[in-house]
Amino acid sequence: MKKIKTIIIEDEYKIRESFYNKIEKSFPELDVVALCANAEEALEKIVIHKPDLLFLDIEMPRKSGMELLQVLREAKIHANVIITTAYNHTDYFRKAMHLSAVDYLLKPILKEELEEAIQKVKERMETQEVANDQETLGAQQNKNSILDFSCAVGKLFLKHEQIVYIKAEGNYSRFFLTDGKNELVTESLKQLEEKLKNCPLIRADRSHFINRNYVQKLVVNSNRCYFLSSVPYAFVELNETGIKTLMKTEA
């Protein structure tokens, strides 16, 4: 496993330095990239370094560690968090677990307890890496596969990159292709959703799938989705929901 990028957040200087020295000496798998004295400084360093692990003190001036953790979760920042505190409050513990903290350690922190907490972090990271690898593999396999679609004369075989967009025609769907042709498929957009999972074709609104790889510009006031000049269609008109959906979709 790669080194675990770590930030220590502790307002008391002596405790912060002592804890850093303990980690440096006993846990070489941790790469401490920042030491922070308060939540505001920590938030800045978290954005810069994108750490895997935070050691987070609860009682700090101005903004508490628990308030910082709440901000991180609302911002969808999913760093592993180990709470470090001198306060054995049940309410703190419950809130920390609710916000997906890995562990809750009471000061002074015993080496054995620290080892157990770090092991939990490693296990979480390994599980997430496996899940990410499987998702990437599945998406790649889906991208490279040839899909078949029912049509009036039999079957239509296409790769995702051949499809610029799809438009509903009643209970059927019309495929607009990169070669300038269009094909009518006897499947509804609803039926296509499962078949087109994990691919660049996005269900933008009730009437359209759009291949995000061919989108050049989205214009809100006209609800138009403009395509790259490399494909034979200038634009397609969506509804307001369609434009918003595409604007929220990561490239």
Q: Where are the domains of the chain?
A: 4-140, 147-248
**Residue 131 clears pLDDT 80, i.e. is over it:** no
Model pLDDT, residue 78: 85
**Residue 227 clears pLDDT 90, i.e. is over it:** yes
* pLDDT single digits (tens) 53-70: 999 999 898 889 999 999
Residue 23 — pLDDT band, cuts 50, 70, 90? Answer: very high
**Residue 92 clears pLDDT 90, i.e. is over it:** no
For the domain 4-140, what is the CATH code? Answer: 3.40.50.2300
For the domain 147-248, what is the CATH code? Answer: 2.40.50.1020
Rounded (to 5) percent helix, strand, coil in the chain: 40, 30, 30
Report the alpha-carbon angle 63-119-123, nearest 5: 95
User: Which residue intervals of the chain are DSSP H helices?
Assistant: 13-26, 39-49, 65-74, 90-98, 111-144, 189-195, 240-248
